[in-house]
Amino acid sequence: MVNHWYQQTLGTPAEGESPPQLYHPYAGHDNNRDWYMLTQKETRLVVEKIHNVWHPQIVVDMHEMSAYGARMFVPPFMDPIDPNVDPILQAQIVSLGGSLFSAFIAAGKKGIVTQAIYDAYTPARAYQHYHGGVRILLETARARLATPIYLNKGELRSGDNYNVHRPSWNFPVPWEGGVWRLRDIVEYQKIGLRAALLHGARYRKAWLENFYRVGVASIQRSQPYAFVLPPEQRDSQSLYDLLEVLDFGKVEIQRAQEPFQVRSSTVVSAPLGLPNRREFPAGSYVILMQQPYGAFAKTLLEIQHYPGSREYPGGPFRRPFDVTAQTLGIQLGVETYQVMQPFEASLNEVDEVQVPSGQIEGEGIYGLFSHTDNAFARLVNRLFKQNRAVFWAPNGFSAEGASFPVGTLLVHFDEGEIAAQQLLEDIPLKVQLVKKRPELAWQQIRMPRIGLYKSFSSAIDEGWTRWILEGYEFPYQSLNDQDIREADLSEYDVILFPHQEPKKIEQGLGDSYPEQYRGGLGKEGMARLRQFASEGGTLVFLGEASRLPLLRWQLGGVDITDRLTSREFSVPGALLRVSVNNHHPIGYGMMEEAAVMFWHTPAFDLSRGLSVVHYSSKDPLLSGWIHGEEHLVGKTALAEIPMDQGRVILIGFRTQFRAQTRGTYKFLFNSLYYATTE
274-288 pLDDT, tens per residue?
Answer: 999 999 999 999 999
User: What is the structure's pLDDT at 423?
Assistant: 86
Does residue 415 carry a pLDDT above 90?
A: no
**CATH 3.30.70 residue window(s) in the chain:** 359-445
SS3 605: strand
Q: What pLDDT does 318 receive?
A: 82
Residue (of 363, 355, 356, 410) closest to 383 by Cα position:
410
Question: What's the CA gap between 303 and 298, in Å, rounded?
Answer: 9
Tell me: pLDDT of 421 over 70. no
What is the predicted pLDDT for the residue at 546? 98
Which residues have C-beta within 8 Å of that of residue 525, sequence separation ≥ 6? 481, 484, 485, 506
Which pLDDT score, from 0 to 100, does residue 678 have?
83
Q: Where in the chain is the domain with CATH 3.40.50.880?
A: 450-674
Percent of the chain with pLDDT over 90: 94
| pLDDT above 90 (res 317) | no
pLDDT tens across 26-39, in order?
999 999 999 999 99
So what's the pLDDT on residue 288?
98
Nearest Cα neighbor of 569 from 608, 615, 528, 508 is: 615
Checking if the pLDDT of 100 tops 60, the result is yes
Distance in angstroms (rounded) separating the CA atoms of residues 161 and 324: 19
Give the pLDDT mean for 481-507.
97
Rounded mean pLDDT of 117-137?
Answer: 97
pLDDT above 90 for 447: yes
Burial string for 101-124 (b: 16+ CB within 10 Å, else e) reads: bebbeeeebbbbbbbbbbbbbbbb
Judge whether residue 641 has pLDDT over 70: yes
Task: Count CA atoms within 13 Å of residue 533 on its CB side.
Answer: 22
How far is Cα 267 from Cα 256, in angstroms, rounded to an integer?
A: 19
116 with 72: CB under 8 angstroms? no
- Runs of H (alpha helix) within 272-318: 294-301
Identify the pLDDT of residue 312: 79
Residues 40 and 270: their CA atoms lie apart, in Å, by 28
Residue 665 has pLDDT above 80, yes or no: yes
Q: What is the pLDDT of residues 182-214, one digit of tens each?
A: 999 999 999 999 999 999 999 999 999 999 999
Q: Please, what's the b/e burial string for 272-295 (b: 16 or more CB within 10 A of its CB; e: otherwise)?
A: bbeeebeebeeebbbbbbebbbbb
Pairwise CA distance, residues 588 & 614, whole Å: 15
- Strand 430-434: give its sheet, edge to edge: 359-362, 430-434, 366-369, 409-412, 390-392, 443-445
- CA dihedral (53, 59, 60, 65) in degrees, to 10, reads 100
pLDDT at 272 > cutoff 90: yes
Tell whether the model's pLDDT for residue 420 goes beyond 60.
no
At 38-66, the pLDDT tens digits run 999 999 999 999 999 999 999 999 999 99
The kind and range of the H/E element at 461 are: helix 460-471
Average pLDDT over residues 296-324: 89
Dihedral sign, Cα of residue 141, residue 142, residue 147, residue 149: negative
Confidence of residue 333 (pLDDT cuts 50, 70, 90): very high
pLDDT (0 to 100) of residue 400:
92
Q: Tell me the mean pLDDT in the region 559-570.
A: 92
Topology given in CATH for the domain delimited by 450-674: Rossmann fold (3.40.50)
Amino acid identity of residue 391, one-letter, is F
Q: Is the pLDDT of residue 356 over 60?
A: yes
Average pLDDT of span 78-107: 97
Q: Residue 526 and residue 503: Cα distance in Å, rounded? A: 12
Give the chain's mean pLDDT: 96
Residues paired with 20 in a beta bridge = none
Contacts of 113 (CB under 8 A, 6+ apart): 69, 70, 72, 73, 74, 159, 162, 170, 171
Helix (H, G, I), strand (E, B) or coil at 649: strand
Over residues 239-244, mean pLDDT: 98
As to burial, measured by CB atoms within 10 angstroms (0-12 exposed, 13-18 middle, 19+ buried), residue 326 is: buried
For the chain, what percent of residues have pLDDT higher than 70? 99
User: 499: closest CA among 378, 668, 319?
Assistant: 668
Q: What is the pLDDT of residue 178?
A: 97
Q: Which residues contact 451 (CB under 8 A, 6 or more apart)?
A: 476, 477, 478, 479, 483, 489, 491, 492, 494, 495, 496
CATH architecture of 359-445: 2-Layer Sandwich (3.30)
What is the pLDDT at residue 417?
64
CB-based contact 239:229 (threshold 8 Å): yes
Whole-number Cα distances in Å, 372 to 127, 235, 446, 546, 563 = 31, 6, 19, 26, 37
Mean pLDDT, rounded, for 420-443: 90
In degrees rounded to 5, what are phi and psi of residue 675? -65, -15
Tell me: pLDDT of 155 over 70. Answer: yes
Per-residue pLDDT at 78: 95
Say yes or no to pLDDT of 70 above 70.
yes
